[in-house]
Amino acid sequence: MIVSLEELLKILEPIRKEKSIVFTNGCFDLLHAGHAYYLQKAKEFGDILVVGLNSDSSISRIKGPQRPIIPQKARAFLLDSLKPVDYVVIFEEDTPLELIRAIRPHVLVKGADWKVEDIVGADLVLSYGGRVERVEFAFDLSTSKIIDRIIKLYKEDCR
């Protein structure tokens, strides 16, 4: 379900004691098998998976004016259609820290390419007894690699 932060907090508050809340975040631009695997693994750490989705303006600030490729409404729809994902909330900031602070997940998940000390919000989640988990990648895929491959194929085709 795609929800605002306010809606999400109303949903989570009454079930927070019986269910474990898992949070992860990302751009999820050009959704691929690596994303699906990562989200499946993230869901295994608890009962409810909340995905914080960077807004279009946030991605442009982080990755440059050519990104995102896919608009936030479409990215949110795709994420919401994946079995492991329970809730999608779009955030405007460059990092999900304010979202993590508001949601107070039991488990914070990022890719294994992140050191725990570099994961935004890890110190906060650990401070109240939550866990930080890292997921190894099963596919050598990324949106940037896909974009680079498309550009390379296009250039070869234009010769």
What confidence score (pLDDT) does residue 30 get? Answer: 87
89 neighbors 4 (Cβ within 8 angstroms) = yes
What confidence score (pLDDT) does residue 138 get? Answer: 83
Burial class (CB within 10 angstroms; exposed 0-12, middle 13-18, buried 19+) of 111: middle
What confidence score (pLDDT) does residue 148 get? Answer: 82
- Which domain does 35 fall in, by range? 5-157
pTM, two decimals, is: 0.92
pLDDT digit string (tens) for the chain, length 159 residues: 999 999 999 999 999 999 999 999 999 998 999 999 999 999 999 999 999 999 999 999 999 999 999 999 999 999 999 999 999 999 999 999 999 999 999 999 999 999 999 999 999 999 999 999 999 988 777 878 888 888 888 788 887
143 neighbors 27 (Cβ within 8 angstroms) = yes
Which domain CATH number covers 144? Answer: 3.40.50.620
Domain count of the chain?
1
Q: CA of 151: how far to CAs of 143, 144, 158, in Å?
A: 12, 11, 11
What confidence score (pLDDT) does residue 132 get? Answer: 98
Count other Cβ atoms within 10 Å, centred on residue 76: 21
